[in-house]
Every structure is written in structure tokens, then in C-alpha cells.
Structure 1
């Protein structure tokens, strides 16, 4: 029995040693596999991979990239053949572009990029055309597997603020505060029914909280005004955005819409060269006569807007007077006339219904004029009135139901503006 027990113990010990050895080997193998697995995770999550730079969705490091600008008289065919593609390949890409991008719209001055292989005999793999800073078109010609697709660069909206005073014009004031003058145009549109931006005075103060769009760190002339105030002629005007009935409008502190039935002016931000008068010295005729309108001096080609919704009731040319002119009936009370236009808006006809801020023509010097300007006239019940005194009824105010919510938004934004 002792021998048997000993043998059994000996066998058991041997088995245990084998088992322990096996466990040790297995543990070592598991550790190795775990280490390898960790190594793989580390490689996958390494800085090398994260440093891969993509442009237009293409890994830049895999190619030699050439950037260029479309020159005058260059089209897609010229550009692609310049970079090694055959006439047949260009034709194939033209067909693939249908419904995605109209290749006839490639314009001079726009940027493009060519991605070439890093071989001893490099071949074009991608041609990218930038429609604008945000959108682009990729022509993929790798391995003769053609594809045309659109893409968009990621955009970012940055919150900003500016406060300042007008010395000569709001446009100049924005420039002096390192802010895009385009923001002045946005403000003139927002306050266009309540403030005459042609009549701004020195020391008028503005405060604006806004967002500006960026692409790859570059500023774009796109803005969202989050709140604004304007101190003009001893009155403080506010612009508070609020959504009511699915439409976002700007309201004053009382909850009345800033948008009225008529714009204050029919064009953006240029100076008044002559005002409404019953006796004005005419620069061409060299005599005094009535001038029942307002002249806005502006460069030839400046867009001219309808100041309100209405119907075109006249369109024509007066050789010894208003030159190219358009007349609009807005309602049973008001009509407006726009004179000395260089040309009319495309497709504009008598009988057309036009919307407020719709372009109806462009500033010129046709007819009896010494230089480019718009002669703008307003008639109330058929009689000429001073366009700067036209009555403008506001759109629907904040409803009683929405007033509590509007009050919270207004108070928060007014406080933020006051702290600028």
C-alpha cells in the first residue's frame, strides 16, 4: 500500500508539475498575446496615425500636391490635359459630372489642387476644384476608376463682439475696430426700417454681439447677429432675435418687429447727394426747379432694391429725364420710382410682382445725369412726398403668449450688450 501510495503520489506530483508547467506556458503565452494585443492597440492609437493630414478627404502625405488658380480662358478640359489626362479621360469625367457639377461653371480666379502619385513617373490621382471656400468638387481618376463627388470643408462659427462710435460712417468705424465692414451691411439691413443709415451722426454708438463663420482658420464674410444696439439721435435702438411662428425676426425691447412694410433706403449704404426739395439748382440744366426725390450717390452697377412688396407698373427710358426707370405700386396709397438705372434686373417686366429687397435694377447715369446715382421718389396718393419720411408699419409683434419667453431672452441680451 505504501508503494502504491508513493507511486500514486509520484504520478500525481508529476502530473501537477506538468500542469503547473503547462499553466506557466499558457500564462506566458497569454501575456505575450496580451502584450501583442496592447502593441496593436498602441500602434492603432499612435501619434503616427493621428498625424495623417487630410485635405478634401484625401490623405495629403500619400501624394505630391500642386495648388493653382484657374486662369482666364481655362476650362476643365484644359486643366486636366495640362496635368496628364487624355481627351478620352476628360470626356468620361465630363459625362460623370452631369447632375453633380456643371463643368461650364469653372471660373477664373478660383483655386484648385492636383494630387499626384509619388512614383518615378507621377500620375494624377485627384483633381479638386474649389467652388468657394466651403465647397469643392473632387475628380477621382485613380486606376482609371473615375468618380466625381462634392465635398464641404468643415466650418466653425466663432462668437465675437464689437463696440464703437461713428466718426464718418459705420463702414469706416467697423474697419477702425478691426471688424469686417460687411457687418455694417448686416446692421443696415436689420435696422433698415427704423434708422436712416444715410443720416448717421458723429458719435452715434453701436454695440454688436455676433458670430462669424470660419473655414480652416480663415474668416468668411458670413455673420449671425446675436444682439445689437444703436444709439442714434438720442434714442437707443435694440435688435433682439426671437423665433415666433417658426420665423426668426429681430425685435426691439418692447417686442415690436424691426421689419416694416418699407425699407428706409433702396440700396445698401451709400451717401445722399441731393435731398427732397421744391427748389434745387439742377446741375445739368443750370437752373432751379423742384426735385421731389432723394439722390443716392453710388458706383455704377450697385444693386437697387424694391423698398417693399408690389407690382411693376412702368418700365422704360426717358432720354431727357430719368433715363432707365422702374415704377412700382405697393398698395392703394404708395408708389415708388427708381431712375437713372444703368440696366434693369434680368427678366423684369411690367406686371411682375416683386418682393421687398428684390433687385429691380442697377445704379447708372442714364438720362439727364452728371454721374452715377439713383434718383428715388415716393408718391402718396399720387402726390410726391419726401422718401425719408415714408411711413412704415411693423410686422406682427411678439404675441402675449410668447412675451414671457421673449422677456427672458431680451433681458439677458440687453445686459450682455451693456457690459461690452
Structure 2
């Protein structure tokens, strides 16, 4: 009961209201009919949270966006790793997305590719629900992780208008370099001064870390810097080189393609996608060959000690100490 003229008007609506090209199969919609049989309204569910309503029974087309009411629940989870952090979250009946949240919070302190069986964790968090369906994790109120016998704390605190995570001493968990350039993967080959090359079958240095991951997995720059070089070579395939400062540089090899806007001279920020895992060049399968350089010499990325960013300021120390005690006691109070 909607004429072609109205349909054309709908297609001309601003993208911020409704974009017909982004209609997704499976999303729900509803059409409301007046008593006289005239089509009055069209409602479309954009996602779990957002919807749009378009009035059709007037000379002028009206449309407005809305959001479903959301309920936040404070929750706790703890667990011990047997196989993986993701599986442990599922076994604890928690949203497995928490595994990603946790890995991002401790990304500068813990190498999540080297987690061990028996490692433990605790989290206090808020999860959003709409119609009893999880709409995602809204906030992490504190976290604790025990890895290789070492304890790591994450205390949230707002400093200079920005919410960040700090350790129990007030040092920022964010450091100059991420521990790894991928969120989830496994190390398939380590840093070595003599390794049998899988294709050439000769021993030669492998001054990098190989991360096995599916083709298309996003590759992140481990730190801020300028793209020094992008290109293709027979050995490295598609590669990106980044200069972070006068001391440190990194390289990312065997990419399937480059990230958007990644070219020589471009500035990138820590965590930006600079490319995607591939198997180009001399490669036996999909992986990322990640290399780290200090003063022009290759060093083992797993042994680089990155300096932290700004710690808790003196003016905020009293309030932070209070928040630290509350957070740590809350985490220690449950198993």
C-alpha cells in the first residue's frame, strides 16, 4: 500500500535517519495500517538497540530514530584457564566478549598468546540487556589476572577527563607498545638467530615472531608512529614498516592487503589496523611475521620493556587511593 513516490522519498532520507542500502536480512520491521486501510507508519529495527519510524500517511514524510530502553546489570565473574580464555568465559556462563575486553585492558602487560593452564582472573563489570538479551559489555569496574605466578590489577580511574586503567601503584596500564599486533592468535615460530627456513630448507636467522592466524585477521600497529615504507618483496610479500621514534621501529610481513589509508608518510596511532594477515611472499601458510627494531638492530619483541604513559598525578592520588582500595577489596571478596 505504499506508492513508488513515497518509496523514492524514503530513499532520499539522510543516512543518519535511514539508509535503504543498509537494510539487513533478518532484521525485523512492522507496518501500521489506519482504520481506512491506509499505510500509516513503517518501523524498522536497525540493530538490537536502535530503530527508525517513518510516517507515511501525511503529505510530508516524517522520520525519527529511537532506542529501546536498556537495563544495566552489575555482574562478577572469575575463572581458571584450562584451554583458552574464551572457553573459560563460556564455562563460567559469562559473555565470552569479556575475553576480548580483558585482553585489551591488559594488552600492554600480558602476552595473551602465552597464557598458561592454571592462569586465573576476576572481573567486576556492567552488562547491558534489552528484552532480556545481552546488548554488550558497558563498563569494566575492575579486573585481576594471575599469569605465570604474577598478579596484575586494573583499577579504572578518570584523569584529565579520560577513563583509563591503572595498576595498584597508580601506573597506567597503557604503554608505548602493545604486547602483540594481533588480538587473538598463536605463536607459530619464535625469534631465533638460526632457524631452518620451511621453504628454502636452509638455516638462517629469523629475527621476528610468527603469529599464525586466518587470512584477513586485522593487524594492529603496536605503537604510534609514521609509516616509513609499504610495498611487496619476494620474501616478505606485502609488508608495512613503521618508525615510532628515533629509537624504535616495527615491520609487519606477509600481509594479504594494507589497511585503509596506510601509505608512506601516514601517521598511525597505537591499535590502528595497518593491514590484514595473509600468506604472501615466502610463506607456507597464513601468518604474520612481526619484527621489532631498536636503534636499527632486530630485537626479540617478547622481551621489549615498553615505558608506561602518564601515571596518576599527585593532585589525583588521594582519590585514586580510595578507588583502588574499594576496587581491590571488591575483587578479593569473591572467588
Task: Give yes or no for TM over 0.5.
Answer: yes
CA contact (8 A) 1:112 1:127 kept: no
| Selected match of 1:355 from 258, 262, 269 | 269
Distance 1:402 1:272, change over 3 A: same
- State the alpha-carbon separation in 2 of the partners of residues 223 and 166 from structure 1: 24
The structure with the greater share of residues assigned to helix is 1
SS in 2 for 1:240: strand
Residue 109 of structure 1: how far off its partner (Å): 2.6
Q: Residue 294 of structure 2 corresponds to which residue in structure 1?
A: 380
Say yes or no: does 1:140 pair with 2:62. Answer: no
Q: Residue 124 of structure 1 corresponds to which residue in structure 2?
A: 39
Residue 118 of structure 1: how far off its partner (Å): 6.8
SS in 2 for 1:346: coil
Q: Residue 296 of structure 1 corresponds to which residue in structure 2?
A: 211
Deviations 1:131-189, CA, capped at 9 Å, x for gaps: 22111221211355521111111222211110001112111111111112211111111
- State the alpha-carbon separation in 2 of the partners of residues 244 and 106 from structure 1: 38
Residue 250 of structure 1: how far off its partner (Å): 0.5
| Selected match of 1:192 from 94, 101, 107 | 107
Say yes or no: does 1:168 pair with 2:57. Answer: no
The structure with the greater share of residues assigned to strand is 2
CA RMSD of aligned residues (A): 1.6
Say yes or no: does 1:283 pair with 2:198. Answer: yes
| Selected match of 2:169 from 233, 239, 254 | 254
- State the alpha-carbon separation in 1 of the partners of residues 224 and 29 from structure 2: 45
Say yes or no: does 1:271 pair with 2:194. Answer: no
Given the two structures, how large is their TM-score scaled by the length of structure 2?
A: 0.95
Mean Cα deviation higher: 189-198 or 140-149: 140-149
SS in 2 for 1:221: strand
- State the alpha-carbon separation in 1 of the partners of residues 213 and 25 from structure 2: 26
Residue 273 of structure 1: how far off its partner (Å): 0.9
Q: Residue 94 of structure 2 corresponds to which residue in structure 1?
A: 179
- State the alpha-carbon separation in 1 of the partners of residues 163 and 321 from structure 2: 16
| Selected match of 2:117 from 198, 202, 209 | 202
Residue 310 of structure 1: how far off its partner (Å): 0.2
Say yes or no: does 1:152 pair with 2:67. Answer: yes
CA contact (8 A) 1:114 1:124 kept: no
Residue 303 of structure 1: how far off its partner (Å): 0.8
Say yes or no: does 1:398 pair with 2:318. Answer: no
CA contact (8 A) 1:110 1:132 kept: no
CA contact (8 A) 2:243 2:249 kept: yes
Deviations 1:181-234, CA, capped at 9 Å, x for gaps: 211111111111111111111111100001112222210233411000001121
CA contact (8 A) 1:183 1:223 kept: no
Say yes or no: does 1:311 pair with 2:226. Answer: yes
SS in 2 for 1:111: coil
Q: Residue 86 of structure 1 corresponds to which residue in structure 2?
A: 3
Residue 399 of structure 1: how far off its partner (Å): 1.8
CA contact (8 A) 1:262 1:308 kept: yes
CA contact (8 A) 1:100 1:149 kept: no
